[in-house]
Amino acid sequence: MSIIFGQDPFVEAQVLDLVNRERSQALSRREWKHRLAGYGYSIRETDAGDVVETLPHRVAICKLPAELTA
């Protein structure tokens, strides 16, 4: 599967806003991933960095910024 970035900046911004908001509310990385799964997203760890993708088809939305990976 190829990773596709930059398809729609508006969608990327909305998804990253959701990811950031859920990260601030979660107590752990595991809970954060669980909360995102409830919205239909997942975080996949790759050699190039973490990627936000959709569930269940695993379509890459965007690369996760470094400040959210920690």
pLDDT band at 11 (very low <50, low <70, confident <90, very high): confident
pLDDT in tens, 45-59: 989 889 999 998 888
- Statement: the pTM of the whole predicted model exceeds 0.85: no
State the Cα–Cα distance between residues 10 and 16, nearest whole angstrom: 10
pLDDT in tens, 29-42: 999 999 999 999 99
Ordered by start, the domain boundaries in the chain are: 9-65
Cis upstream peptide for 56 (omega within 30°): yes
